[in-house]
Amino acid sequence: MAIRATNLSSFLPVQARTKTRTKTRTFATKQAGSVPLTSSTAKYLIQSGTVRPIPPKEAGEVIQTEGYRLLDIRPIWEWERAHVTGSVHVPLFVDDADNGPITLLKKWVHFGYIGLWTGQLFTKVNEQFVPQVAEVVPNRDEKLLVACGEGLRSLMAVQMLHESGYKNLAWLAGGFSRSVNRNFPQVEGNTKLQYATVGGVSSIFLQLLLILRVLDSES
């Protein structure tokens, strides 16, 4: 059957055969390549060493000994729950205040599937992110350790900052959710840094689990 299918291409018009080969090559390229290796790709920036990945367990020491400034790009509600003292806060995502019919529909879907459980608001990309970073960190040669809750949003931020001319960037690998107590010298807020992304109903379950863990350790 495979031979017959291959031979059928010889009966196609030349133009059709060309289109078929083009589609095949395009599909193969998409399947083979996960991320194109270009300087604008966050993954490549990490793999090439252009941006330095720093695990949370090393972050506090790097900040103190190597002169990195911690740039926290989490939404304001996560930052308020817990943040590292002395860090710079510029959110990459902000609350979407649009009340148009399409946005309202998206908000209802988001609330039903995500927002109620996690406490996350419906957000949009902060279009002023890079200019706002430039206001607090005007020197593009300054060392910046970019961080978020789980390490994904900060990858986006790293790419945007690199493209805007920031040269000494580092990325908090895995985000604050992989940090533990004492990774950072001082933390402010009403919860632990690694739990700051948890809100809504899930935060109640988290508190219950923490209480049960304490009771179990005491028994």
Residues labelled catalytic? 148
Rounded to the nearest 5°, which phi and psi values hold at 179?
Answer: -80, 160
Q: How far apart are CA 39 and CA 141, in angstroms?
A: 18
> Can you tell me the distance from the alpha carbon of 53 to that of 147, in angstroms, rounded to the nearest whole number?
11
What b-and-e string marks burial along 183-215, b requiring 16 or more CB atoms within 10 Å of the CB?
bbeebebebbbbbbbbbeeebeeeeeeeeeeee
Structure tokens at 8: 């059928």
The identity of residue 121, as a single letter, is L
CB-based burial label for 168 (10 Å; 0-12, 13-18, 19+):
middle
Side chain identity at residue 205, one-letter code:
F
Going along 50-117, which residue ranges are E strands?
Answer: 52-54, 69-72, 82-84, 88-89, 93-95
Nearest to 84 by CA among 192, 209, 210: 192
- Of 52, 17, 136, 149, give the one whose Cα is nearest residue 93: 149
